[in-house]
Amino acid sequence: MGKPVRIIIIGGVAAGASAAARARRLNEDAEIKIIEKSTYVSFANCGMPYHIGGEITNRQRLLLNTPDSLKARFNIDVYVNHEVIEIDRKAKNITVRDLTSRKKKLTFEYDKLLIATGARHIELPIDGIDAKNVFPLRHISNMDKIKHYIETYNPMTAVVLGAGYIGVELAEQLKRVGIEVTMVEKYDQVMPVLDPEMATVVEEHIIDSAIKVIKNDGVVEIITEGDETPVGVALRLESGREIRAELILMCIGITPEVTLAKEAKLKLGETGAIVVNDKMQTSDKSIFAAGDAVESRHRVTSKSVWMPLAGPANMQGRVAGTVMAGGTATYTGVIGTSIVKITNMAVAKTGLSEKETAEANMDYFVSFSHSPDHAMYYPGATMQHIKLIVENKTGRLLGAQVIGNERVDKAIDIFATVIGLGGNVDDLVNMDLAYAPPFSTVKSPALMAGMIAQNRLNGLDETIMADEVINDDYHVIDVRTASEHESDVVFEESELITVDNLRENIPVQHKGKKIALLCRAGLRSYIAYRMLKQHGFKKVKNINGGYLTSKYALKKDKK
């Protein structure tokens, strides 16, 4: 019997703990050690905002594993409050500092080493950043400090810097505990991962939830008052505006923690993260890396990307653990499936956004749909707003974004499945999905979105965006009801011909003009489009997503 393989993992949480457990399940004889810089080796960092807001009341439920539990169940030696300060690739050992007694150093030899150091929050180089009421949220210790501050000082106002995933989650949870919240976002929209017209839907919901939003502005200084724990601090923004706040949360982003890898001269990619192959091996085949510290192959573009998400981190850890233990596994890459809750709204994305698709120089079109999440005759149905990005000619699904109140996770997971398997809109439409009135519509929102895109792909529909209608001077025919036409105005000079009266009132006087058809969501205007095309109209188009998309694309409010 050979000598047991010595596996050392730097960092716990998602990737590190997942790799350690997987390695043990496959290799009972391996010597496995986890070196974790913080006090906690395995915790649910995605749950931290909800503990701050009180939705998760039991803090212990966020601590998934402890050194004792990992030792008892998996025979894994865990060193918390220990920091790896050097990797000696030639000698195949690491030097570790005991943070409880900084003079004490340990040396461990390895056969296989995994770097799972994750990411660190970006620190702004501004005055006042170290004020006592300014907090990031990356670790359990950050969460504890924020919650302690709220419970001790009862702040009434807060500023959340950054309107990404963590920012909107924290804003919601702070509002939940009665704090007046202002979000400050450097970019010109909230949720920068979304396309603008979808982000506008989210922004409207955030504002309707009594959370203030400031965009196109960043903080340049935090003005503190005195040495005591501050109850009144001002943020000076780039615009010159000042905001008073008793609590400031930094959610401006993270960057891969690659200090050890860089010092060990492991290859880093253009993203700044560690380069790995599909077995999660670095440029040194004895050293693996996984989680937020690595870059991955995007399965749509095949390009290297940095995508710090919990799902990929866990899967990468599993692959690394398998290979380090002597097994066979490959990691196929990421597509970036994500979802976030904002009060009663869910927002999800998978694959490429339209901006990312354009930057990749891909030939594509976009399709919008608005469908109820279950049968309208069954109580409680709400609308799902869906945007698909589809490759021209092939019909390959490149990306999807979904906003709604219920079952958004179901829709986005359907799209993620199709994208992950390299499928097209025909594959999407042909999916055999569960149906009953309380759960879906006969044509589920995902299938309906696919059918609309399929019509476009097959030449049965030609669409146009609202801004193109205005810029290219189209004559707009509104095929909705008279009451809709009067109350929900997007195009002031539109002509009303309801779809049910269109066949008897074909507008032959406009036959040579450029015509754009409008309805609420795009279905009635599609029926009108088919009608007019078969009456010889050559320059007619259907307004993509109807009124429900146009009002956001043009940033117009309902009148």
For residue 446, give the 3-state DSSP assignment: helix
Let me know: does 387 contact 198? Beta carbons within 8 Å. yes
CB atoms < 10 A from the CB of 263, how many?
A: 11
Which string of b and e fits 387-398 if b means at least 16 CB within 10 Å? Answer: bbbbbeeebbbb
Q: Which residues pair with 113 in a beta bridge?
A: 8, 287
Separation CA 313–CA 303 (nearest Å): 18
Sequence-distant (6+) residues with CB within 8 A of 454 are 395, 425, 426, 429
What does the DSSP assignment read for 311-380? HHHHHHHHHHHHHHTT-------B---EEEEETTEEEEEEE--HHHHHHTT--EEEEEEEEESS-TTSTT
Separation CA 154–CA 143 (nearest Å): 16
8-state DSSP, 421? T
8-state DSSP, 39? S
What does the DSSP assignment read for 98-157? ETTSTT-EEEEE-SEEEE---EEEPPP--TTTT-TTEEE-SSHHHHHHHHHHHHHH--SE
Is residue 251 annotated as part of the catalytic site, yes or no? no
Strands 345-351 and 338-342: antiparallel
For residue 61, give the 3-state DSSP assignment: helix
Within 13 A of 550's CA, how many CA atoms are on the CB side? 29
- Candidate list 5, 26, 44, 46, residue with the active-site label: 46
Assigned token pair, 293: 């510290």
Q: Which residues pair with 387 in a beta bridge?
A: 368, 401
Sequence-distant (6+) residues with CB within 8 A of 491 are 466, 469, 470, 476, 478, 518
**Helices assigned H by DSSP within 217-309:** 259-263
- Which residues are catalytic, by number? 46
